Amino acid sequence: ELGRQWDPYSFLHALVFGSVLLVITLLAIFRLNPKLLRDFRLLSLLMLLAVAWLLAAKMMISSQGALAYLYPLAALGILTAVLCDLRVAIVLMVAVALVVVNFSLGNAALLAYLMLGALAGTLTVGRGERLNSFLWAGLVITGTNIAVLTAFLAPFDTPGAPGLLDVLLLSTVNGILSAAIALIGYFTLGNLFDITTPLQLTELSRPTHPLLRQLLLKAPGTYHHTILVSNMAERAAAAV
């Protein structure tokens, strides 16, 4: 076993594959969002997410068991999309999915299961402006997972493949786990890397906020004028 781990050809395979994948991923990110590679804060966030999910893939996918179907690739896509950029999120998901293929020895069903569920969940969350968008993402991920596994594994009589009840359970847990990790990471990483998120702006704009409450009580005219101007600025920013 130790000899196989230190096999020079395996090491060369990993080195070449990892180098090519890293270069292409960086080039794709540079083409899609050139400013990102000059933003140390966001670049550090992407590196942290990539390393964390690659380590998780090594532990979960390499097991070749039910644990592989719980791998929360969708959480990576959602976090990258809401904290950084949707296009970058898709590039990063594809890169990690290729690593997953390597770890799973070319398991096409697992790749489609993880990738399509991740894409569906990421597109559902959008910019993450509402908390219930994460709930909907979890439901969409679960439904997509069930559909993909049913398409690949039906009639569920292949030796070693999960049965129907296992498919329902694994798909549901994966959807819940991905949405929960994404929501927790959204608040944690947003504060840790000082990234202003739509939910933080919503929290600041609520009428019961102490600052807005004082402004309403002491300068009601200024308060209403501020609300009107901010609404106009929001619509202008959305149009741009």
* Model pLDDT for residues 33-59, shown as the tens digit of each residue: 888 878 888 889 999 999 999 999 988
Q: Note the pLDDT of residue 1.
A: 39
The span from the CA of 129 to the CA of 137, in Å, is: 13
Distances (CA, A) of 75 to 50, 179, 194, 197: 12, 6, 20, 17
pLDDT at res. 177: 95
**74 vs 78: CA distance, rounded Å:** 6
Cβ contacts of 108 within 8 Å, gap of 6 or more: 152
User: Does residue 155 have a cis bond before it (omega within 30 degrees)?
Assistant: yes
Predicted local confidence at residue 48, as pLDDT: 93
Question: What are the tens digits of pLDDT across the range 191-227?
Answer: 888 887 777 777 666 677 677 778 777 887 887 787 7
Q: Write down the pLDDT at residue 161.
A: 64
Residue 217: exposure state from Cβ atoms within 10 A (0-12, 13-18, ≥19): exposed
- Amino acid in the structure at residue 131: L
Q: What is the pTM of this model?
A: 0.82
What is d(CA 31, CA 9) in angstroms, rounded to the nearest whole number? 33
What CA–CA distance (Å, rounded) separates 50 from 44? 10
Burial of 125 (0-12, 13-18, 19+ CB in 10 A): buried
Residue 230: what pLDDT?
Answer: 78
The answer to whether 187 and 202 have CB atoms below 8 angstroms apart is no
- Residue 98 DSSP code: H
Quick one: pLDDT at residue 64? 66
Name residues whose C-beta falls within 8 Å of residue 43's C-beta, 6 or more positions apart in sequence.
36, 37
Which pLDDT score is estimated for 91? 93
Rounded distance between C-alpha atoms, residue 97 and residue 33, angstroms: 21
Which residues have a Cβ under 8 Å from the Cβ of 83 and sit 6 or more positions away? 42, 45, 186, 189, 190, 193, 195, 197
For the chain, list residues with pLDDT below 70: 1-7, 63-64, 156-161, 203-206, 209
